[in-house]
Amino acid sequence: MMTIDNYNFAGKKAIVRVDFNVPLNEEGKITDDTRIRGALPTLKKVLAEGGALIIMSHMGKPKGKVNAKFSLSQIVDAVSEKLGAPVQFAPDCAKAAEAAAALKAGEVLLLENLRFYPEEEGKPVGIDKEDPAYNDAKKAMKESQKEFAKTLASYADCYINDAFGTAHRRHASTAVVADYFDADNKMLGYLMEKEVQAVDNILKDIKRPFTAIMGGSKVSTKIGIIENLMDKVDNLILCGGMTYTFAKAQGGEIGNSIVEMDKLDLALNIIEQAKAKGVNLVLGTDCKAGDDFKNDCNTQICPANAIPEGWEGLDAGPETQKAFAAAIEGAKTILWNGPAGVFEFDNFTAGSRAIAEAIAKATADGAFSLIGGGDSVACINKFGMADQVSYISTGGGALLEAIEGKVLPGVAAIKGE
Ligand code: AMP
């Protein structure tokens, strides 16, 4: 496989898929530039070696229609400033051949939002899935998606994908476009390389013991990951709102706590699987319960399976926090996805904080720790501990699908898996 470090960009035009889907305020100003900063090493590498850049991205969900609110023209100045080079803008991403052809070494062209074309996502628009003509429309769209991807490919000599956030989608710019470059002219960008390596560290090159911490609100959204991890981990902490589905399944009283009544059998099955596979399953034994779903409600510590009527478990209790820390201490590989409580409320952060602190300690002792999935990242940032873990993934859905063991189309299109 070609890598960005082995490629000679001198005199070449590189089309780079980045994730510049940055949040904008009412005036169209960027409120968080993390994603732009994330792509800079790749972009700067091409320019420094005498290549020219054609940058492409989506922004928001314009659903296949031109919409000024989602125009990438709004970020041209910011990209230019961060890149330290002037950035030209192509107002129509599918009609940028001339501008691309005119690019000289060291020059940069940013294409307008790819999702202004329905071909980018490849989903037929304006037709219901139930409509008998839907399948034909879908087939026709797949064909025009190929044409669209071919047009994008025609702008450049090589293709780089550095947009991990969309790697789980088979879109024109994330996967289909790669079909129009041979193996020596397509590669992952630095950010993608780091993400793929991080996932390999927890799924393939595992150093033991391996502790995974899965939290968040529901078992149902995490089940694919839990099942994939069950064959790999030594310790599995299941926390957050899931705690109460497990407590209920085992006959506990959970008051008003969040619960998925249709997942009780699944919870018992997970407990059985863990036993059969010799996985140390850590579930909450006590909790901090509140009498309302708000930060300043009345609270009490009680057993997770004996929560009084009118109260709900909103965070892990002190005994549970100790059990979390014990399962994380000494681990050499750690994955954390999903908070252990309603961390958005300052009075219910202790469980998540106990996890973050134990991870930071294990990391300082040499563990590889990967934090990923929107809310645990927000959590670690809230605690100001982002620099105390090994890697924070930039991809929500993409990371979760990778951990489920699914092949990511954006990665496969380049690695040829
Ligand atoms: P998820 O998107 O599934 O990872 O869930 C994240 C959300 O789960 C966060 O917004 C938390 O506030 C929420 N959460 C965690 N613990 C609980 C709990 N005990 N009760 C209700 N919500 C919870």
Set 322, 397, 405, 415: catalytic member: 397
Average pLDDT over residues 395-401: 90
Separation between Cα atoms, residue 385 and residue 356, nearest integer Å:
8
User: Which residue has a Cα nearest atom 21 of ligand 1?
Assistant: 241
212: pLDDT confidence band, cut at 50, 70 and 90? Answer: very high
382 as an active site residue: the answer is: no
Q: Output DSSP code: residue 30.
A: B
- Asked if residue 118 has its Cβ within 6 Å of ligand 1, the reply is no
- Asked if residue 396 has its Cβ within 6 Å of ligand 1, the reply is no
115 as an active site residue: the answer is: no
Give, rounded to a whole angstrom, the gap between the first and last alpha carbons of the chain. Answer: 11
- Asked if residue 375 has its Cβ within 6 Å of ligand 1, the reply is yes
- Mean pLDDT of the residues in the chain: 96
Average pLDDT over residues 309-332: 98
User: Which residue has a Cα nearest atom 6 of ligand 1?
Assistant: 216
374 as an active site residue: the answer is: yes
* Of 113, 115, 33, the residue nearest 80 (C-alpha): 33
- Asked if residue 240 has its Cβ within 6 Å of ligand 1, the reply is yes
| Dihedral (CA of 303, 308, 309, 312) sign | negative
CA 106 to chain centre: 31
Set 13, 17, 35, 169: catalytic member: 35
Ligand 1 nearest atom to the CA of residue 373, by list position: 4
Average pLDDT over residues 384-396: 94
Separation between Cα atoms, residue 242 and residue 257, nearest integer Å:
10
Separation between Cα atoms, residue 346 and residue 60, nearest integer Å:
30
Set 106, 224, 252, 374: catalytic member: 374
Q: Could you tell me the pTM of the whole model?
A: 0.92
User: Which residue has a Cα nearest atom 11 of ligand 1?
Assistant: 342
- Asked if residue 313 has its Cβ within 6 Å of ligand 1, the reply is yes
Is the pLDDT reported for residue 81 higher than 90?
Answer: yes
User: Which residue has a Cα nearest atom 2 of ligand 1?
Assistant: 216
Is the pLDDT reported for residue 200 higher than 80?
Answer: yes
Residues whose CB falls within 8 Å of the CB of residue 196, separated by 6 or more in sequence, listed in order: 188, 411
- Asked if residue 409 has its Cβ within 6 Å of ligand 1, the reply is no
Separation between Cα atoms, residue 137 and residue 131, nearest integer Å:
10
Q: Taking CA 292 as the corner, what is the angle to CA 286 and CA 294, rounded to the nearest 5 degrees?
A: 95
Set 12, 146, 150, 218: catalytic member: 218
- Asked if residue 255 has its Cβ within 6 Å of ligand 1, the reply is no
Average pLDDT over residues 297-309: 98
pLDDT in tens, 7-55: 999 999 999 999 999 999 999 999 999 899 999 999 999 999 999 999 9
For residue 62, cis peptide bond before it (omega within 30 degrees of 0): no
Ligand 1 nearest atom to the CA of residue 339, by list position: 15
Residue 416: its pLDDT value, please?
A: 86
Is the pLDDT reported for residue 395 higher than 90?
Answer: no
- Asked if residue 241 has its Cβ within 6 Å of ligand 1, the reply is yes
Q: Structure tokens of 168?
A: 């789980």
pLDDT in tens, 230-283: 999 999 999 999 999 999 999 999 999 999 999 999 999 999 999 999 999 999
- Asked if residue 290 has its Cβ within 6 Å of ligand 1, the reply is no
Residue where the block lists tokens 């899931």: 242
| Residues shown for the chain | 417
125: pLDDT confidence band, cut at 50, 70 and 90? Answer: confident
Ligand 1 nearest atom to the CA of residue 222, by list position: 3
Q: Output DSSP code: residue 393.
A: -
Q: Structure tokens of 38?
A: 């994330």
Q: Structure tokens of 334?
A: 């750690």
Is the pLDDT reported for residue 393 higher than 90?
Answer: yes
Q: Are 143 and 123 spatial neighbours (Cβ–Cβ below 8 Å)?
A: no
pLDDT in tens, 127-144: 999 999 999 999 999 999
80: pLDDT confidence band, cut at 50, 70 and 90? Answer: very high
Separation between Cα atoms, residue 416 and residue 198, nearest integer Å:
19
3-class DSSP state for residue 109?
strand
Average pLDDT over residues 96-102: 98
User: Which residue has a Cα nearest atom 12 of ligand 1?
Assistant: 342
Q: Count of H helices and E strands in the chain?
A: 14, 17
215 as an active site residue: the answer is: no
